[in-house]
């Protein structure tokens, strides 16, 4: 019974570490905050044309496009295979977090992590609520999380608050200094 409890605790700890590593790796980057591309032919600006079906919620085309852009940028930010230097541009005030991002870029666990966004709800012209899951090896490691996206310098980004909350989770409730 002790061994089972220890294994469960250890599994939960590993999951939290993987999540944190994923977040930090995704946030990695040294690109300019005004950069709107990550890799070839991947536009990250809020004017990106949505390729998903038309919304049935009655949202205007710009709102639907913003939601599609937020989803795409959020998933790119949390993609463990995206080079660290490309990630700071997808995080609110990302240049402040390069040390944390760079630290996570070397983690093999974080490199296998991704995010899956299940919904985006615009709260204002510059903020949105994002419901997402962190996946490791395609399996949910941290399901149904809620975070915020912000429009900064013309780019929809993962909010610093959401990033720091995940880092705190990884570090047992302690928010890292910037």
pLDDT at 127: 97
Q: What are the Cα distances from residue 149, in Å, to 97, 161, 174?
A: 16, 9, 22
How does pLDDT run across 66-100, given as a tens digit for each residue? 999 999 999 999 998 888 778 999 999 999 999 88
The pLDDT-based confidence of 27 (bands split at 50, 70, 90) is: very low
How does pLDDT run across 111-148, given as a tens digit for each residue? 788 999 999 999 999 999 999 999 998 999 999 999 99
pTM score, whole prediction: 0.65
Q: Higher confidence at residue 126 or residue 55?
A: 126
What are the residue boundaries of the structural domains of the chain, listed by start?
Answer: 2-51+58-170
With CA atoms as reference, report the closest residue to 76 among 36, 109, 106: 36
Q: What is the mean pLDDT of residues 158-162?
A: 96
pLDDT at 107: 77
Give residue for tokens 């609520």.
129
With CA atoms as reference, report the closest residue to 52 among 34, 75, 35, 33: 75
How does pLDDT run across 11-26, given as a tens digit for each residue? 444 444 444 434 433 3
């Amino acid at each position: 019974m002790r061994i089972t409890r220890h294994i469960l605790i250890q599994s939960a700890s590993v999951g939290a570490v993987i999540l944190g590593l994923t977040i930090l790796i995704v946030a990695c980057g040294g690109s300019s905050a005004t950069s709107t591309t990550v890799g070839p032919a991947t536009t990250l600006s809020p004017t990106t044309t949505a390729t998903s079906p038309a919304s049935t919620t009655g949202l205007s085309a710009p709102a639907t496009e913003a939601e599609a852009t937020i989803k795409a940028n959020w998933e790119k930010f949390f993609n463990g295979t995206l080079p660290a230097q490309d990630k700071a541009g997808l995080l609110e005030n990302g240049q402040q977090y390069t040390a944390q991002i760079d630290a996570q870029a070397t983690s093999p666990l974080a490199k296998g992590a991704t995010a899956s966004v299940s919904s985006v709800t615009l709260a204002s012209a510059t903020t949105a609520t994002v419901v997402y899951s962190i996946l490791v090896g395609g399996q949910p490691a941290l399901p149904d999380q809620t975070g915020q996206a912000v429009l900064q310098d013309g780019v929809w980004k993962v909010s610093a608050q959401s990033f720091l909350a995940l880092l705190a989770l990884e570090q047992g409730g302690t928010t890292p200094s910037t």
